[in-house]
Amino acid sequence: MKLVSGNSNRVLADAIAGYLDQPLANCLVRRFADQEIFVELQENVRGADVFVIQSTSYPANDHLMELLIMIDALRRSSAKRITAVLPYFGYARQDRRAAGRTPISAKLVANLITHAGADRVLTLDLHAGQIQGFFDIPTDNLFGAPVMMRDIKERYRLENTMVVSPDVGGVVRARALAKRIDAPLAIVDKRRERPGESEVMNIIGNVDGRDCILVDDIIDSGGTLCNAAEALLAKGAASVTAYCTHGVLSGGAVTRISSSRLKELVITDSIQPTEAVKAAPNIRTISIAPLMGEAIARTALEQSVSSLFD
């Protein structure tokens, strides 16, 4: 087995390598003056089972091209099997045609990864589970819920905890976590009554006096979570904490979260945190390296990955 990493999240790749007690392979990824990406594998990978660790996070197109070129370099170097390990799969939110004359970019990216030469894909908390079907190669979608569950159990009195979905679309994800910690479930029903009017948030469930935990897969601008926190507190919630797998946190999201009434935002390191995220007083990062490392080990040994979540 060999581990190869691009530039998107070297800290996570090092942590995964440490968990597996397996050093990262020597791989040079650099740019020419015109920003063309060049990859050179500096050790033999012929006949190897290679795992390429690369989140397609900001800048998404650069990191996606790095991934594709690394896979091509490995295929042409006679690697026996190439697994694309994507802690964060960019373009996942473009998984359907939301309007006329628009693309399904998640399918396009899946095709690019497949045709570049990947034999398998290992990813975490896809925005929509059906994206697994966009790949014509075996795809394992891991879940961040066990990592979050351990953190919640260490920090909360579960008898007073309520899991909350920030919108109707995330109910399945929130219900799965609520079941794991044996907590009740509430839902934020968000709707706009008519154009030009602000959104009305109705809370389905009694949150009065509860420590509410909002659960989502991606936090980008932070607006939905901050508004949901305000609505929950207005209904009598004792506190509101948010757990999200992928902290995209674009634009002014960090400032918005820092000045919000969220007690804490907990994200994983699937996307490498920026300095602003590290400095934010109410944003905390938990590591998915042991989860990803264990999944890689089981894949290499041809063992069950789904049993990690039984």
Instruction: Kindly report whether the peptide bond that precedes residue 59 is cis, defined as omega within 30 degrees of 0.
Output: yes
Asked about 190 being catalytic, the answer comes back as yes
The answer to the question of whether 216 is labelled as a binding residue is yes
The C-alpha atoms of residue 105 and residue 14 are separated, in whole angstroms, by 30
Nearest residue to 69 (alpha-carbon basis) of 101, 33, 100, 41: 41
**DSSP states of 25-39 as a string?**
P-EEEEE-TT--EEE
Q: How far lies 24's CA from each of 2, 11, 45, 134, in Å?
A: 7, 12, 12, 29
DSSP annotation string for 143-195: -SHHHHHHHHHHHS-GGGEEEEESSGGGHHHHHHHHHHHT--EEEEEEE-SST
**DSSP code at position 274:** P
Report whether 221 belongs to an annotated binding site. Answer: yes
CA distance 220 to 153: 26
Q: Is 127 assigned to a binding site?
A: yes
Distance CA 85, CA 64 (A): 12
Residue 49 labelled as part of a binding site: no
User: Does 93 count as an annotated binding residue?
Assistant: yes
220 is in an annotated binding site: yes
Compute the Cα dihedral for 37, 38, 43, 46 and give only its sign.
positive
DSSP per-residue string spanning 291-307: HHHHHHHHHHTT--SGG
- 222 carries a ligand binding annotation: yes
Q: Is 217 annotated as a binding residue?
A: no
Two tokens, residue 263: 């007690």
Out of 153, 179, 190, 263, which one is annotated catalytic? 190
Q: Is 94 annotated as a binding residue?
A: yes
Q: For residue 226, what are the CA distances in angstroms to 63, 201, 219?
A: 29, 12, 11
> Is 224 annotated for ligand binding?
yes
| Residue 59 structure tokens | 């800048």
| Binding-site sequence positions | 34-36, 93-94, 127, 167, 192, 216, 220-224
Known binding residues for D-ribose 5-phosphate are: 192, 216, 220-224
Give the catalytic positions in this structure.
190
Sequence ranges of the binding site for Mg(2+): 127, 167
